Amino acid sequence: MTLKLSFLAIAAFMLAACVQTPQPAPETKRKSFTSVSTSAADFAPKAGQRFAWYTPGVTWATTGPTELNAELEAVIKSTVRAELVNRGYVVTQDTAAADFIIGLVLTTNDYNHADDFAQYFNLNANMRSEGSEPIVKALMGVVDGRFAGITPPPPQALVWKADLETEILEAGTEKAIRLARAKVLTSRLLDSLPKGE
């Protein structure tokens, strides 16, 4: 009996040693954002109207690392496409056939010419940094298709525009978190874009 109890005690000890208590994942500090948008009084796009990207689709005007830019741009462009289609629009690659041209500038507050973009869009969400991380500014504009091919289009050609600003995630944040955040914030940037009637 003593041998049996000793065996059970050793087995229980070994089993307990093999069981790992799950450790909570380190929390990623949520970053707040601010956004603002405006549109021309007569901007009322119809379902089926065509949107094309201004070339290049995303303009990067940042001082930070660029290794994720291609993946971020792919996420941003696919999210914009999904948002446009969900609103009843058609996305085309032919800017000459588009009713509207959509463009996006991503810049940071530590970039030398960041203010030039804010002045062009005449829009500022005024995010204040809570820490030392730079603020990224996503400026999106929709231009009447009649101005396709004019680089840059005159500011009065903007029929809808939006600015979303947020602190950049800390260095070392997982790529999957960065990409998921880009998708969510891109959707939020387009919140006020009207549905096609």
- Say which CATH class 45-189 falls into: alpha beta
pLDDT value at position 132?
A: 65
Q: Which residues contact 164 (CB under 8 A, 6 or more apart)?
A: 33, 34, 35, 125, 137, 138, 185, 188, 189
Candidate ranges 36-45, 56-65, 130-139; pick with highest mean pLDDT: 36-45
The whole-model pTM stands at: 0.78
pLDDT higher than threshold 80 for residue 126: no
pLDDT higher than threshold 70 for residue 108: yes
Please report, as a single letter, which amino acid is at residue 162. A
Residue with more model confidence, 160 or 22: 160
**Domains of the chain: which residue ranges?**
45-189
Residue from 197, 103, 116 nearest 144 by CA: 103
Give Rg (Cα) of the chain.
24
Tokens standing for residue 79: 């999210």
- 3-state SS, 1-51, equals CHHHHHHHHHHHHHHHHHCCCCCCCCCCCCCCEEEEEEECCCCCCCCCCEE
pLDDT higher than threshold 90 for residue 82: yes
Helix or strand run (H / E) with residue 61: strand 50-61
Please report, as a single letter, which amino acid is at residue 102. I
